[in-house]
């Protein structure tokens, strides 16, 4: 059972979650609960680091950020003790979550869960601080934002759990972010492939790595509410009926920027040089477009996370002589809207309908990117939410979700 930040934000909510954990234990389940930092704790710790340093050292950042989860975990154990349950809290390191050494976005290499198994065998409720592990160099690491989901799935896989329940502040995975689309509907089931695309394109309800992990290790994943008892959304293997829904969900993100390198030579090796410079600068490049302009010159545009824009521009400025580009421009006011659906594979016309809908809203498309089950457009950030609502209406997603519920 994993509980997110909002679900443990204050003493009342910690007690509510302790009640949910106790209920499961009383039913006879063996319970391992992973908890996130309370409320906005992680954001506050990040801000605090930037108050004392312009470029906080990543190793020390992990020491700092990992404390948020540790606090929740100890408090949860205390709340369970008061209900008469024996509970033991563990840091990521104590839980045996071994990662690589990439501070602030470490990858889990292995889970050595012996200590947790012993605690479970001794009939304790086991509590684990999410979002963190220990590197092979024995340093504390964190797993990237939203990383407690990944901790939970990794532990579920290592322990051979029957299910990994991700408890959060919404009732499941919806057809779109319910904060943006008030009539978004809960999806009863979503395939791994769809969920991967949704998570990658901005649906923060599950972290991308947690979905990858669940798919690779066959962990049954159930996203549900911390506050209500109803069934949420199951993330499962794709079944044939899932293809009936052409579009199942819309994801969006507003924290992106676009860079254009114009007037580079249209010859082999240029794109490679641009991308190598960015990779060396630690920049994650997404959607890439290249087009040939006049006189054997080409323009390259691509998107990067907003908080990596400065590093990206610095890397490219350092290449000015080598690349001999005419101009380097950027736009920090963009966002992305993505339609996802397993049925897109076999149904033409989705792109046409998507673009018609945006045209009717007078929204200009700057870039387009697709996979077999996804279409993404880059548009102005201020138009993102309007685009999401218009598309949700046009594809009638609320009724689509209800239809899925009935199969």
Q: Which of 30, 100, 139, 169 is the binder for ligand ADP (CB under 6 A)?
A: 169
Q: Which of 21, 205, 235, 350 is the binder for ligand ADP (CB under 6 A)?
A: 205
Q: 237 phi and psi, to 5 degrees?
A: -60, 150
Q: Would the CA dihedral through 314, 319, 320, 321 be positive or negative?
A: positive
Helix, strand, or coil here: 356? helix
Residue 6 lies near ligand ADP (rule: CB under 6 A):
yes
Nearest CB to ligand ASP, comparing residues 130 and 263:
130
Q: How far is the CB of 71 from ligand ASP (least distance, A)?
A: 11
Q: Which of 130, 133, 146, 335 is the binder for Mg ion (CB under 5 A)?
A: 146
Q: How far is the CB of 169 from ligand ASP (least distance, A)?
A: 11
Nearest CB to ligand ADP, comparing residues 56 and 172:
172
**Residues that contact Mg ion, how many (by CB under 5 A):** 2
Nearest CB to Mg ion, comparing residues 146 and 249:
146
Count of helix runs (H) and strand runs (E) in the chain? 13, 18
Residue 168 lies near ligand ADP (rule: CB under 6 A):
yes
Strands (E) located in 232-387? 233-236, 249-265, 288-292, 297-305, 327-340, 367-371, 374-380
Helix, strand, or coil here: 27? coil
Binding window for ligand ADP (CB under 6 A); candidates: 43-51, 116-124, 162-170, 316-324: 162-170
Q: Which of 170, 274, 337, 340 is the binder for ligand ADP (CB under 6 A)?
A: 170
Residue 4 lies near ligand ADP (rule: CB under 6 A):
yes
The DSSP letter of residue 139 is -
Residue least distant from ligand ADP (Cβ): 4
Interacting partner of 85 out of ligand ADP, Mg ion, ligand ASP, none (Cβ under 5 to 8 A depending on kind): none
Q: Which residues of 42-59 are buried (b: 16+ CB within 10 A; e: fewer)?
A: beebbeebeeeeeebebb
Nearest CB to ligand ASP, comparing residues 89 and 357:
89
First and final C-alpha spacing in the chain: 28
Angle at 228 between CA 223 and CA 229, to 5 degrees: 75
Q: How far is the CB of 8 from Mg ion (least distance, A)?
A: 12
Nearest CB to Mg ion, comparing residues 41 and 301:
41
Binding window for ligand ADP (CB under 6 A); candidates: 24-32, 47-55, 199-207, 330-338: 199-207
Interacting partner of 205 out of ligand ADP, ligand ASP, Mg ion, none (Cβ under 5 to 8 A depending on kind): ligand ADP
Strand order in the sheet with 297-305: 288-292, 297-305, 249-265, 327-340, 374-380, 367-371
Task: Extract the tokens encoding 244.
Answer: 């009936």
Nearest CB to ligand ASP, comparing residues 130 and 133:
130
163 torsion bin: left (phi>0), alpha (psi -120 to 50), beta (else): beta
Interacting partner of 145 out of Mg ion, ligand ASP, ligand ADP, none (Cβ under 5 to 8 A depending on kind): ligand ASP
Residue 264 lies near ligand ADP (rule: CB under 6 A):
no
Question: How do strand 221-225 and strand 233-236 relate by DSSP bridges?
Answer: antiparallel
Query: Taking a C-beta distance cutoff of 8 angstroms, is the pair 101, 136 a contact?
Result: yes
Residue 177 lies near ligand ADP (rule: CB under 6 A):
yes
Interacting partner of 173 out of Mg ion, ligand ASP, ligand ADP, none (Cβ under 5 to 8 A depending on kind): ligand ADP
* CA-wise closest residue to 382 among 338, 333, 337: 333
Q: How far apart are CA 138 and CA 136, in angstroms?
A: 5
**Interface residue list for ligand ASP (CB under 6 A):** 4-5, 36-37, 42, 68, 130-131, 145-149
DSSP output for 49-69: HHHH-SS--HHHHHHHHHHHH
Nearest CB to Mg ion, comparing residues 197 and 299:
197
Interacting partner of 130 out of Mg ion, ligand ASP, ligand ADP, none (Cβ under 5 to 8 A depending on kind): ligand ASP
Q: How far apart are CA 160 and CA 158, in angstroms?
A: 6
Partners of 370 in the β-ladder: 375
Q: Which of 92, 133, 147, 249 is the binder for ligand ADP (CB under 6 A)?
A: 249
DSSP output for 95-125: TTEEE-S-TTS--EEEE--HHHHHHHHTTPE
Residue 36 lies near ligand ADP (rule: CB under 6 A):
yes
Binding site for Mg ion (CB under 5 A): 4, 146
Binding site for ligand ADP (CB under 6 A): 4-7, 36, 146, 168-170, 173-174, 176-179, 203-205, 249
């Amino acid at each position: 059972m994993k509980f997110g930040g909002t679900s443990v934000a204050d003493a009342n909510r910690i007690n509510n979650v302790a009640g949910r954990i106790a209920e499961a234990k009383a039913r006879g389940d063996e319970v391992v609960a992973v908890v996130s930092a309370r409320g906005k704790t992680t954001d506050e710790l990040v801000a605090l680091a930037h108050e004392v340093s312009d470029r906080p050292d990543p190793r020390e950042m992990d020491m700092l950020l990992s404390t948020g989860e540790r606090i929740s975990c100890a408090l949860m154990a205390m709340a369970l003790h008061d209900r008469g349950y024996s509970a033991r809290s563990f840091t990521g390191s104590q839980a045996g979550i071994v990662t690589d050494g990439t501070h602030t976005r470490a990858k889990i290499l292995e889970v050595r869960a012996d200590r947790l198994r012993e605690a479970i065998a001794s009939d304790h409720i086991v509590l684990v601080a999410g979002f963190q592990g220990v590197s092979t160099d024995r340093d504390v690491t964190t797993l990237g934002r939203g990383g407690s989901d990944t901790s939970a799935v990794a532990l579920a896989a290592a322990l051979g759990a029957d299910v990994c329940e991700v408890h959060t502040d919404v009732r499941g995975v919806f057809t779109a972010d319910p904060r943006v689309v008030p009539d978004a509907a809960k999806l009863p089931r979503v395939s791994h492939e769809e969920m991967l695309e949704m998570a990658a394109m901005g649906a923060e309800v599950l972290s991308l790595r947690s979905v990858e992990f669940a798919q690779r290790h066959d962990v049954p994943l159930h996203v549900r509410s911390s506050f209500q008892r109803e069934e949420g959304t199951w993330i499962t293997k794709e079944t044939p009926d899932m293809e009936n829904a052409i579009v199942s969900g819309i994801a969006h993100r507003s924290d992106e920027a676009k860079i254009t390198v114009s007037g580079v030579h249209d010859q082999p090796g240029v794109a490679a040089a641009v991308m190598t410079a960015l990779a060396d600068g630690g920049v994650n490049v997404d959607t890439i477009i290249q087009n040939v302009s006049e006189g054997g010159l080409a323009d390259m545009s691509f998107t990067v996370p907003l908080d990596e824009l400065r590093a990206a521009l610095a890397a490219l400025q350092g290449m000015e002589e080598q690349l001999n580009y005419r101009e380097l421009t950027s736009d920090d006011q963009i966002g992305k809207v993505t339609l996802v659906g397993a049925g897109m594979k076999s149904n033409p016309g989705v792109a046409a309908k998507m673009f018609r809908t945006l045209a009717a809203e007078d929204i200009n498309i700057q870039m387009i990117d697709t996979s077999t089950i996804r279409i993404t457009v880059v548009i102005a950030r201020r138009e993102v939410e309007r685009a999401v609502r218009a598309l949700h209406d046009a594809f009638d997603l609320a009724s689509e979700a209800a239809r899925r519920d009935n199969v």
